[in-house]
Structure 1
Amino acid sequence: MRIAVIGGTGLIGSQVVDKLNAAGHEAVPHSLSTGVDVISGQGVAQAVAGADVVVNLTNSPTFDDASPDFFRTSMDNLLTAAHEAGTGHFVVLSIVGVDKVPELDYYRAKVLQEELLRSGPVPYSIVRATQFMEFMDAVLTWTADGDTVRLPATPIQPIAAKDVAEAVAQVALGAPLNGIREVGGPEVFALDELGRMTLSHKGDARTVVTDPTAGMFAAVKGDVLTDMNAHLAPTRYADWLS
């Protein structure tokens, strides 16, 4: 099977390419660095030509109100090219609970991406994942001030990027779901607790202060970013830290 992985040089994409090729398929990574620009459309038709499956792992460069335009334009270019190329399956990666946090521009943009895929001309699958373990370092910088990091107690179900890549690869090799598969980590933590675990493991002496108004995840109400009924990945956070 030939798979075009758009955004195939990033954190998830590069691992998806490796897993698909290791399984004996022909997965080709495409990104700006390989001459494919999903916004201008340059190189898009060539990237998807002959592909049985297109996996779109591109992401908006910002999380603000510019992100809907990124997904609208990129999906239009990719879906048009995939349809014209006769592609039989289009896969995107999204977020568990994405439709339950309308206060966040980026989450509304990802909902738009899903809607464009559903209404598009190509059979599709959506993989929704919980928050990546690899993002915790970034989260700890958003509200850091000297020796203090402020975090809300938002429930988080961290999943390792390698487990997300495995889920995306499996879905890409299957029949189109024309629906959603949710994947998540095996444990749920309060975000402030997760921050304390992370700093402690790194020998970082900063203190985590619980602040329900701090950072992007303050907009999240309840446990909407978790789903223990999802397909649960094997990697536990403490093992990943080690």
Structure 2
Amino acid sequence: MRIAVIGASGRVGREVVEVLREQGHEVVAITRSAGVDVYSGAGLGQALNGVEVVIDAANAATTETDAVRDYFRTIARNVQQEALDAGVRRIVVVSIIGIDAFTAGHYAGKLAQEQAYLEGPVPVRILRAAQFHEFTEMMLDWTTQGDTAHVPATRTQLIAARTVAEQLAALAVAESAPDRLEIAGPDELNLAAATAKLAARRGTPLQVEEVLDTSDPNHRAQADGALLPGPGTLIAGPSFEEWLDRHYPA
């Protein structure tokens, strides 16, 4: 099957590309470096020529609410139009569990993306995933000042990016599948505590502190568990501890 992957060089996109190629599919990697700009639409129609399924794993460089909503909404509308013209059979989109509760930032952008895709003519399957195990690495990169990382109070059920990629691939090739599915890891976790375990394996930073940033409109929803999976969610390993042992052996 000829499958296009938007955001093919990103954290989950590159995993999707690898999974699909291992399964013998022909992958069209859609990235700016490949000459395609999904926001402006430049090169998109040509890239989708002969494509049967599109997987959207794009990410945004901004978290400013209006900008990220515009970014994801515009991409969704562009992809829907060009996919229709190219005869694409379906679109698979990776999103985030619990985003209905959020009014700002990246989560609000992903909700706008879902809505825009569902308004289009090509059938859409949405995979809502929990935060990745790899999100703890991002937390250390983003929040460390001096010898301390300041991680927002968050309850989540972390999952490996590879596991999400495998499910995206399965949704892409299946003739029959749910229009919407949630997937999460096996254990509820405190994000700061999980990030502290990663920091201990890395040896830096020396401390990880949980913070409640009341200036963030999303702070209460994150802390209260809005990002946790609901009934019917697909639960899949590896656990965070298993992922940690694999990537950062003690």
Task: Specify the SS of the correspondent of 2:134.
Answer: helix
Residue aligning to 2:71: 70
**Structure 2 letter corresponding to 1:91:** V
Q: Tell me how far apart the structure 2 counterparts of residues 231 and 2 of structure 1 sit (CA, whole Å).
A: 27
Sequence identity (%): 37
Residue aligning to 2:228: 226
Please tell me whether the aligned partners of residues 185 and 236 of structure 2 are also in contact (alpha carbons under 8 angstroms): yes
Q: Tell me how far apart the structure 2 counterparts of residues 22 and 50 of structure 1 sit (CA, whole Å).
A: 20
Q: Given the two structures, how large is their TM-score scaled by the length of structure 1? A: 0.92
Q: 1:145 to 1:10 in 2, by over 3 A?
A: closer
Q: 1:240 to 1:105 in 2, by over 3 A?
A: same
Task: Specify the SS of the correspondent of 1:11.
Answer: coil
Please tell me whether the aligned partners of residues 136 and 191 of structure 2 are also in contact (alpha carbons under 8 angstroms): no
Q: 1:51 to 1:176 in 2, by over 3 A?
A: farther
Counterparts of 1:56-205 in structure 2, within 5 Å, are 56-65=56-65, 66-102=67-103, 104-175=104-175, 177=177, 179-204=179-204
Q: Tell me how far apart the structure 1 counterparts of residues 11 and 123 of structure 2 sit (CA, whole Å).
A: 25
Aligned residues: 241
Q: 1:51 to 1:114 in 2, by over 3 A?
A: same
Please tell me whether the aligned partners of residues 67 and 106 of structure 1 are also in contact (alpha carbons under 8 angstroms): yes
Task: Specify the SS of the correspondent of 1:77.
Answer: helix
Aligned CA-pair RMSD: 2.0
Relative to structure 2, which stretch is displaced further, 199-208 or 179-188? 199-208
Unaligned runs of 5+ in 1: none
Please tell me whether the aligned partners of residues 77 and 117 of structure 2 are also in contact (alpha carbons under 8 angstroms): no
**Structure 2 letter corresponding to 1:32:** R
Please tell me whether the aligned partners of residues 155 and 223 of structure 2 are also in contact (alpha carbons under 8 angstroms): no
Residue aligning to 1:237: 240
Q: Deviations over 1:124-172 (max 9, x none)?
A: 1001110011121221243333233233442121111111111110111
Q: 1:185 to 1:98 in 2, by over 3 A?
A: same
Q: Tell me how far apart the structure 1 counterparts of residues 166 and 234 of structure 2 sit (CA, whole Å).
A: 12
Relative to structure 2, which stretch is displaced further, 187-196 or 210-219? 210-219
Please tell me whether the aligned partners of residues 125 and 176 of structure 1 are also in contact (alpha carbons under 8 angstroms): no
Please tell me whether the aligned partners of residues 133 and 159 of structure 1 are also in contact (alpha carbons under 8 angstroms): yes
Q: Tell me how far apart the structure 2 counterparts of residues 116 and 171 of structure 1 sit (CA, whole Å).
A: 20
Deviation at 1:205, TM superposition (A): 5.4
Q: Tell me how far apart the structure 2 counterparts of residues 136 and 57 of structure 1 sit (CA, whole Å).
A: 19
Task: Specify the SS of the correspondent of 1:68.
Answer: helix
Q: Tell me how far apart the structure 1 counterparts of residues 13 and 214 of structure 2 sit (CA, whole Å).
A: 30
Q: Tell me how far apart the structure 1 counterparts of residues 132 and 125 of structure 2 sit (CA, whole Å).
A: 20
Residue aligning to 1:41: 41
Deviation at 1:52, TM superposition (A): 0.9
Deviation at 1:192, TM superposition (A): 2.0
Q: Given the two structures, how large is their TM-score scaled by the length of structure 2? A: 0.89
Q: Tell me how far apart the structure 1 counterparts of residues 205 and 52 of structure 2 sit (CA, whole Å).
A: 50
Unaligned runs of 5+ in 2: 246-250
Deviation at 1:209, TM superposition (A): 2.6
Q: Tell me how far apart the structure 2 counterparts of residues 24 and 72 of structure 1 sit (CA, whole Å).
A: 32
Deviation at 1:176, TM superposition (A): 6.1
